[in-house]
Structure formats: C-alpha cells, structure tokens
A and B are shown apart, each in its own frame.
Chain A
C-alpha cells in the first residue's frame, strides 16, 4: 500500500514525460508482479540455474586438474566411460538398494513413532523431545556414533550380543553386515523426520471423526485403516518425496561409518562423485556422474508429483 502511494507521488512531477522508464513509476499490476519477482528469480538463477548449467557443461568436458591440461570439449566421452566402469554400477546399485530399504523402513518406524507421540499422554514433551533429537543430530555425527556402536571389539552392539550368548559380528568386515548396519543407522536417523511430518498430519484429523466411528462400532484397527491412513496420505507423500531424494543422495552415514568398505561394497553414488571430484580432481567425470544422480532425483520427484496430482 505504502509503495503504491509513494510511486504516485514520485510520478506526479514527471507528468507529460513519455520516456520508457516512466511506466516503472506507475506500474500496472503485471509490471509490478514482474518487478517484485525479479530479485527472487535472479537469486534462483544464481544459485540453481547457473550451477546446474555449469555442471552439465563441465560433464561434456575433459577437465582433470591433475593432468595440468586446460579443459577440452569431450562430447559424451565421460558418459561412455561410465558404462564400463564397474564401480559406477556398484555404487548406483548400492544407492538404489539403500533407498529401497531405508525409505519404507523409515516410513513404518516413523509412523509408529508419530502414533505414539499422538497418544493422549499428560506430558507430551518426553516423546516429542526423543523424536527431535535424532532429527537434530548432524548426519555425520550419527554415522560416527553408530560406527562405535557397531565396532567389532569395543562396540555396544557386540557387547549386548555376547551377553546374550551369541558370538559378536565383525560388522564392517562383511559387505552384508556393513550394509545392514548402515541401513539401521539411516532408519534410526531419518524416521524421526518422517514422524514429525506425519505427526503434523495426524493433528489435523478432527477428533469428531473417531468419535463418530466409535459410535458406529468401528474398532481401533478399523479406525486406523479407514480414517487415519487415508487422511494422512498427503502428509505421507510429502514425507516420502523428501526422504527418497535424500536417500538417493546418501553420503554422510556410509562415509563416516565404512568409507564405502569393505572394498567398495557399501559406497554410494554420492560418495563416488565426491571421490572423483575431490580426491581424483577429475571434474569432468565427477560432473557427468552428478548429472546422472540429478536425473535420477528428478525422475523420482516427477513420479511422486504425478501421484499427488492424480489424487487431486
């Protein structure tokens, strides 16, 4: 409001002038909208469009800092290299596997946590606080902490196993056990985020629906499947989108827990990108790998968005 009146004040002395810029002094609604959106659009271009464009461009170049040579155009060479790179396939497969295991895992655990937090306890803060702590903990801290939990000699997990009469497992000495330890950690770390979003969804469901169902004689389980779950769908889809994209980008937890070992059996695509760019300084190949991951994330997002739109 204030801006509108100011602009009229300013434009008054310039009466009669028909220079092109005068329309900015008394903008139409359309021009005003463009003007107001410009800074945001500029910022977005600067932090998203430019870097992504630059990434795609680099992926078509031979640019390795260790070669000491200037960048040259390489066309699709970096992408062709990927095809017969066994580590690329292994890390991509590991990434997909982590996504397939930890996203549903975190959804189920998160749902249980949210339902528990939504129970009508007198004091709610203990449950809510214990929900928030794993979420607030930085990923790499979680990885380092769990690496100690699973340590074969000094870890608490093996200690418990031994006390129960089992033999301890050398977790990080076997691809399967190391993978299991990583997935467990990711589920622990991420289910609280799922729970928070689902809890917010749960609180929008009016109590009257449950009361009506009770009057009609529906049991607890029936209520869950007929009322809670359908009304939670939008919250679940949003949580799934966020979780799946971060799962595809999994880096911190395996990096701090196993560094991808034993061998390369628990390395993820994000770790391989990091390795190629930061350790090997092969920016061309690293960028090509990053483009592939970008496309993977985009694909998943499009599928989810379609799902939301289909549901109206």
Chain B
C-alpha cells in the first residue's frame, strides 16, 4: 500500500515537472549586460516596460566593472569562452567594429528587413556609421555622448568672466578665480589623466582642435608636432597649478565627484555628469553651466564622440528575441525615456528639441551641435592597443615620467607597430 502510494506521488511529481518545463519553454529569459556607470536602475525600468508588453520575455540585468576597459575585459572573457549566458551587451562606441571582426555579434540586417539604410538614417550619422561594418548593422545605438566643458556659473558670474572659448582663456580665467577665492581646495581645471579610456580623449581634444587626424584612410597619420603640443598643453595646466599635481590619478568619475563637491571651477566630462550635478547630494546644484569645449589658439573646438551601443551575442541561444529587445531599447521612445530619466543623450536628432526632454534637461538643446560635430576615435580592430599606447603615454607625461617630446616619440614608434 505505502509503496504504491509513494510511487503514485512520485509519478505525479514527475508529471508536474514535465508540465512546468513545457510552460517554461515558452518563456524566454534574456540576460543583458549594462555598464554600471550608465544608470542600470533606469534601464531596469525600461526592461520592466518591455516585459509588461511581452509577457513571454523575462529580462535579467547584469552589471559589472567601473570603467569601459574593465567592462571590455569582462565581456572579452565571456566571448572568448563562447559563453551563451549573455544575450545582449552594451558596448562602448569604439567596440562594435572590434566585436564584429571577432565574430562575436549577430548582424541586425535580417530583422530590420529591406530598408536598412532608412532604418539607420533615423539615427545621428556618427552612430549609423559606428554601428555599420561593410554594410552589416552590427549593433544599434543605446545613447549618444560627447565631452563638454562644465563650469561654475556662480563663480564665473561673481568674477565677471565669460565661459572660455580657447584653452588659453580658460587658463587665465581659472587663475583669476582661484587666486581671488583663496581656497586651497579649489582646482582650476579637472580632466582625466589616469591611464583610462578617457585619457585617449584627453590627448585627442587639442590634437583634433589643431586640425590633425590620428588615422586617415586606415593609415596612421600621426602628427608628432601636434602631439607634443597637445601633451604640453595638459602638462602646463599641472605645472602652472591650474590642475592639481596628482591629475595622473584622476579618472572620469573622480572629476565628476570633485566638481560635484564644489572643488573645481572647470571640468572636462561627459553628459552623464549633469544628472548627478543637479542631484540632491550635489553641492553645486543650480550653479553649473555647460558649454562646448575650448579650442586651441587659432583652431576649431573639438569634442570626443562617445556613446554606447547594444550588441547581440553570437553565442546567445535566443538571438531573435534578443534582437527584438534591442530594437525596442534602441527606439525613439526608449531614447526619450532615458533622456528624461537618466540624462543620457539621445541618438535621434529630433529628440534633442523634444519638449518633454528639454523640460527635464534644458541644455540638451545646445548639446546637439556638439554631438553632431564630435569626432570619433580611430576605428580599427586593434583599437585596444591604440588606446593603451595613448593613455599610458598621457599618464606618463602628466606624472612627469617623460617630457611631452619623449612621450610623442614613444607614441609614434609604438603606434607604428600596431597600425602598420
């Protein structure tokens, strides 16, 4: 009797498990990697809205790493292991080309359908370009970004100074303000000197402003003279006391924190900083202005093109569902939602002047021309090596390990090895 009972129970249990797994089979679980510095909390809300509309899809959020390089290291490990656990990943704008070359992402051409060109033309041209490799759409834009000059509106007004148009003007303004304020904790300018991805942009800002390119038609077009001048410009900020002595230790988010604490007059940073400056913990709330970055004397102002893209892993078991999710994440609606709730710049030009967006982030209206003219870092599958060479040199020069001339020499010879 008892044996029979047990058997029946066991069978019933097994039957239930089978039905349960049949129900599970219709449910798709998607695992999405989001960079931890780009408001995963707000992305989670966007996922929730997608789940509400698509009850058969469940999205799990994964974050990790503090910087673009750390995130790339993690994703590189997952991809080289051909791990199927990640379905969708957010990629820094410099990486879709590398990931496509390595065969790690699935093209979107089929899900987009016939008119791929019209589909991509909806985005700002720079992002349509960054995500298309040999006619294949290898990723879709998550949000746009560029570097801006943040400044303390209250301090500039107090001393009757206009936002600087050139780096020389910035030096003079910073000196005037810090000397008058007599606050030993007040830095004139904060930028990224640590050997991180941001330091590549640090180097390129004045280099581009002099009208020079690093790579032209796939060939290295390194201008040593401009490189020396660029490195010297930054080193002079340190030597003249405009930037702090240990600027070689400063990463992007350090600049943000120090400005937010009220210890910086001018700061070079990306758009994400705005949301935090206007937050409740901020010491500079309503005292911040944003303008285009200064130019070198006689040059054009230049900004570094940032932004992040959504890619679908080649090793995913749910490629079609994952691509559908990405199309939603890269839609004008999600773009607007993220602009309003997370101050992430839209990849769609018309959203910059959208009423709801400008109400939440008024300066976005002025940001559009900056994003449109921002320059892209060189596109090459060996970008990681190019980046490492530039950022360690910038770091070494700012720490005083090398003179700007030695740094430029080293940069040139090492870049030649990579971009032959």
Residues of A near any B CB (own CB < 8 A): 64-68, 81, 85-87, 152-153, 170, 172-175, 259-265, 275, 278-282
How distant is the Cα of A261 from the Cα of B395 in the complex, in angstroms? 7
B30 at interface (Cβ–Cβ under 8 A)?
A: no
- 9 more A-B residue pairs beyond the given contacts A87-B414, A263-B399, with a C-beta to C-beta distance below 8 A: A67-B381, A81-B417, A86-B413, A170-B246, A172-B248, A261-B395, A262-B396, A279-B76, A280-B382
A sample of 10 inter-chain contacts (CB < 8 A) reads A65-B102, A66-B102, A68-B102, A170-B249, A172-B248, A262-B401, A263-B399, A264-B396, A265-B396, A280-B385
Contact with A along B62-82 (1 / 0, CB 8 A): 000000010011001100100
How long is the Cα–Cα vector from A281 to B385 in the complex, in angstroms?
10
Contact of B195 with A by CB under 8 A: yes
**A278 contacts which chain B residues (CB < 8 A)?**
73, 76-77
| B residues in contact (CB < 8 Å) with A | 69, 72-73, 76-77, 80, 98, 101-103, 194-195, 245-246, 248-249, 381-382, 384-385, 388, 392-393, 395-402, 410, 413-414, 417
Provide the bound-state CA to CA distance between A261 and B199, in Å.
13
Pick the residue among A81, A262, A281 that contacts B76 (CB under 8 A). Answer: A281
Query: Which of A67, A172, A262, A278 counts the most B-chain CB atoms under 10 A from its CB?
Result: A262
Asked if A262 and B399 make an inter-chain contact with CB atoms under 8 angstroms apart, the answer reads yes
Say whether, besides A65-B102, A68-B381, A263 and B396 are in contact (CB < 8 Å).
yes
List residues of chain B with CB within 8 A of the CB of A261. 194-195, 248, 392, 395-396, 399
Task: Give the residue among A66, A172, A259 with the most B Cβ atoms within 10 A.
Answer: A66
Given contacts A68-B381, A173-B246, contact A263 B393 (CB under 8 A): yes
Residues from chain A with a CB closer than 8 A to the CB of B382 are: 64, 66, 280
Known A-B contacts A172-B248, A279-B388; the reply to A262 vs B395 at CB < 8 A is yes
Which of A87, A259, A261 is the most central at the interface, judged by chain B CB atoms within 10 Å of its CB? A261
Considering only CB atoms, which chain A residue lies closest to B73 in the complex? Answer: A278
Q: Are the C-beta atoms of B384 and A279 separated by less than 8 Å? A: yes
Report the minimal beta-carbon distance from B362 to chain A, rounded to whole angstroms.
34
The 3 closest A-B pairs by CB, nearest first: A263-B396, A262-B399, A66-B381
Q: A173-B249, A261-B395, A279-B384 are in contact. Are A68 and B401 (CB under 8 A)?
A: no
Q: Kindly report which residue of chain A lies nearest to residue B394, judged by CB atoms.
A: A263
User: In the complex, how many angstroms separate the beta carbon of A261 from the nearest chain B beta carbon?
Assistant: 5
Chain B minimum-CB-distance residue to A276: B385
Which residues of chain A have C-beta atoms less than 8 A from B410's C-beta?
86
Q: Which chain A residues lie closer than 8 Å to B76 at the CB level?
A: 278-279, 281
Do A173 and B245 have beta carbons less than 8 Å apart?
yes
Q: Are B392 and A66 in contact (CB under 8 A)?
A: no
Expressed in whole angstroms, the minimum distance between the Cβ of A85 and any Cβ of chain B is: 7
B195 proximity list for chain A (CB < 8 A): 259-263
Minimum distance in angstroms from B386 CB to a CB of chain A: 10
Nearest CB of A to B299, in Å: 27
Q: State whether B395 touches A65 (Cβ < 8 A).
A: no
A263 and B402 within 8 A (CB): yes
Contact across chains for B399 and A174 when beta carbons are under 8 A apart? yes
Q: A173-B400, A275-B388 are in contact. Are A66 and B248 (CB under 8 A)?
A: no
**Contact A66:B101 (CB < 8 A) given known A173-B399, A279-B69:** yes
Evaluate contact between A263 and B103: CB separation under 8 angstroms: no
Instruction: Check A67/B101 contact, CB under 8 A, given A173-B245, A173-B249.
Output: yes
Instruction: For B402, give the chain A residue with the smallest CB separation.
Output: A263
Among A68, A262, A264, A275, contact of B248 (Cβ-Cβ < 8 Å): A262
Q: How far in angstroms is the closest Cβ of chain A from B315?
A: 14
Interface centre among A65, A81, A86, A172 (most CB of B within 10 A): A65
Q: State the CA gap A86–B396 with chains docked (Å).
A: 15
A57 to chain B minimum Cβ distance, whole angstroms, is: 17
Report Cα–Cα, A273/B382, bound state, in Å: 16
- A65 partner residues in chain B, CB cutoff 8 A: 80, 102
How far in angstroms is the closest Cβ of chain A from B387? 9
CB of B388 within 8 A of CB of A175, answer: no
A85 to B389 alpha-carbon distance, docked (Å):
12
The answer to whether A85 and B417 touch across the interface, beta carbons within 8 angstroms, is yes
Contact A153 B246 (CB under 8 A): yes
* A54 nearest CB across to chain B (Å): 14
Residues of A within 8 A of B249 (CB): 152, 170, 172-173
Can you name the residue of chain B whose Cβ is closest to the Cβ of A283?
A: B80
Given contacts A173-B245, A261-B248, A265-B401, contact A279 B98 (CB under 8 A): no
B contact residues around A264 at 8 Å (CB):
392, 396
- Residues in chain A near residue B417, CB distance under 8 A: 81, 85
Contacts of B385 in A (CB 8 A): 280, 282
Q: Which residues of B contact A263 (CB under 8 A)?
A: 195, 392-393, 395-397, 399, 401-402
Q: How far is the CB of A108 from chain B (nearest CB, A)?
A: 30
Q: How many angstroms from the CA of A65 to the CA of B384 in the assembled complex?
A: 12
Shortest distance between the CB of A33 and any CB in chain B (Å) = 39
Contact present for A174 and B102 (CB under 8 Å): no
Distance (whole angstroms) from the CB of B298 to the closest CB of chain A: 31
B177 to chain A, nearest CB (A): 22
C-alpha gap A275/B72 in the complex (Å): 12
In the complex, A265→B399 CA distance in Å?
11
Give the residues in chain A near B77, CB-CB below 8 Å. Answer: 278
Cβ contacts under 8 Å, B384 to chain A: 66, 279-281
Q: Give the docked Cα–Cα distance between A66 and B387 (Å).
A: 14
A64–B388 alpha-carbon span in the complex (Å):
17
Query: In whole angstroms, how far apart are the Cα atoms of A85 and B399 in the complex?
Result: 23
**Contact flag A281-B80 (CB < 8 Å), given A152-B249, A153-B246, A261-B248:** yes
> Which of chain B's residues have a CB closer than 8 A to the CB of A86?
410, 413-414
A84 to chain B, nearest CB (A): 8
B78 to chain A, nearest CB (A): 11
When chains A and B are docked, how far (Å) is the Cα of A261 from the Cα of B77? 23
B399 (CB) vs chain A CBs: closest residue = A262
Q: How far is the CA of A280 from the CA of B384 in the complex (A)?
A: 6
Q: Which single residue of chain B is at the shortest CB-CB distance from A279?
A: B384
Q: How far is the CA of A81 from the CA of B385 in the complex (A)?
A: 15
Chain B residue with Cβ nearest A151: B249
**Which residue in A81, A152, A280, A282 is a CB contact (below 8 Å) of B246?**
A152
A66 and B98 contact, Cβ closer than 8 Å, known pairs A152-B249, A260-B392, A261-B392: yes
A282 to B383, CA, bound (A): 12
List chain A residues, Cβ under 8 A from B69: 279
Closest Cβ of chain B: how far from A64's Cβ, in Å? 8
User: Whole-angstrom distance between the alpha carbons of A86 and B385 in the complex?
Assistant: 14
Residues of B within 8 A of A259 (CB): 195
